[in-house]
Structure 1
């Protein structure tokens, strides 16, 4: 679909005129077509007054439509046209929370809690450092901009709702509140704090923000009954 005002409205009007109900939909860009966008939607055609072939023909006749793909979601209602899934320009994989629990629980049986916590923390730290550096490189962000971007990204990716409190750039310290953290949700109930990957991610990310190496400690955790997860960031000793 051409990247022009009214393109989406014109396409939707064709469906509405045929009594086709749009249930869900999203529009986005793809790298292969820099001057166009993609509109993907689930539609209910049970009461349609026109055939799908006629609908496809009418859509393709619109000067704003470049291509039309119709695919019946059977046997299950999955959107399978757009592969691979992208997070920005990077390939992404969608995993349910339960899959993380099964993965980490299996590792913990082998490595024990102390071993797994060290592995997850180190992996999270490297990931956080990389993410912050990429945001700096792509969007030219620094300091407060990077902090705001982390909060945005956390919600956009389903990771958590992140709030920064008491950020001190001179001392390289911060208190970070993480609500609905996916890691705590995956581990369910534990007698101890469990968000080691998140803790590492925040340490790596904030090391880039402060331009100084820092560590992160989890002082509250949803998995052990707290209302939210809390992390204290301080300069690495």
Structure 2
């Protein structure tokens, strides 16, 4: 049962039947902006700044066809609705094209909707990557991507070096992160709308690759909550564990809900993919 805005007393999106891992919970998107290729292929990058108007993607596709290129990758930067321009990067395969890369660049630049265009050349004849746009930004803040080998080594190193003290360290680091995240989410015009606030947290957790918060149950009156989480990035690296593995992410949840409820909370991980469960489940209660 729900009511509107800040008067919401009970919010539940939590089906009774457990759901197995499906494409709903695992459908990868490659954001690398790095491509390795055979030395015999001619793959070049092009960094663009375009006007925001109808038909831009169609026009870009038509340009690629005109120069005989195959688009191997394209990524468009997020922009505010009111912004008049947008940034993009594409990797074009010119292996079967009669158009030289520099000539292709000039053809692109001649179009009125193209504000800027820069050619990105391959390195060592086998590697193309975005050496134009930097830094990465999410919601107007700089972002850094850690691959699994990196964050896995970070978490494993802390646990191996410091044992249970390292796990506590991960928890409290996560707590500070979660508290700051909730404060940030509240600043996004969501502070008075419980459902909007939680959906914002879900959105960032998923789009930043942390985990999929698939179902949740929040009881404001009793100060309790339950989260069902799929593909938890921390617990994924601990598969084979005999106990619940989450400390950093559990700390994030604790910090977030401490700020949300306005009082300390206890968070227990009752199910965990590291020990063979289909998903991670977290129980939250104020203390």
Task: Using structure 1 for the length normalisation, give the TM-score.
Answer: 0.91
How many angstroms does 1:77 deviate by? Answer: 3.9
Q: Does 1:94 align with 2:149?
A: no
Number of residue pairs matched by the alignment: 234
Q: Please show how residues 88-127 of structure 1 align to structure 2 within 5 Å.
A: 88-112=139-163, 114-127=164-177
Classify the secondary structure of the residue corresponding to 2:187: helix
Deviates more, 1:226-235 or 1:161-170: 161-170
1:88 to 1:165, Cα distance in 2 relative to 1, 3 A: closer
1:65-85 CA distance string (max 9 Å, x none): 111111123243433322112
Distance in 2 between residues matched to 1:43 and 1:187, nearest whole Å: 39
Q: Hey, what does 1:178 align to over in structure 2?
A: 229
Deviates more, 1:153-162 or 1:70-79: 70-79
1:169-219 CA distance string (max 9 Å, x none): 111111111111100112332222111111111111122332333221111
Q: Hey, what does 2:186 align to over in structure 1?
A: 136
Distance in 2 between residues matched to 1:9 and 1:38, nearest whole Å: 16
Deviates more, 1:2-11 or 1:174-183: 2-11
Task: Using structure 2 for the length normalisation, give the TM-score.
Answer: 0.76
Greater strand share, 1 or 2? 2
1:157 to 1:134, Cα distance in 2 relative to 1, 3 A: same
Q: Hey, what does 1:21 align to over in structure 2?
A: 70
8 A contact 2:239–2:276 mirrored in 1: no
Q: Hey, what does 2:121 align to over in structure 1?
A: 72
Report which structure shows greater RCO (CA 8 Å, sep ≥6): 2
8 A contact 1:100–1:186 mirrored in 2: no
Distance in 2 between residues matched to 1:64 and 1:42, nearest whole Å: 19
How many angstroms does 1:30 deviate by? Answer: 6.6
Distance in 2 between residues matched to 1:199 and 1:227, nearest whole Å: 17
8 A contact 2:158–2:167 mirrored in 1: no
1:45-75 CA distance string (max 9 Å, x none): 1112322222211211111111111112324
Q: Hey, what does 1:37 align to over in structure 2?
A: 86
Q: Does 1:205 align with 2:256?
A: yes
1:27 to 1:201, Cα distance in 2 relative to 1, 3 A: same
Distance in 2 between residues matched to 1:210 and 1:62, nearest whole Å: 54
8 A contact 1:146–1:209 mirrored in 2: no
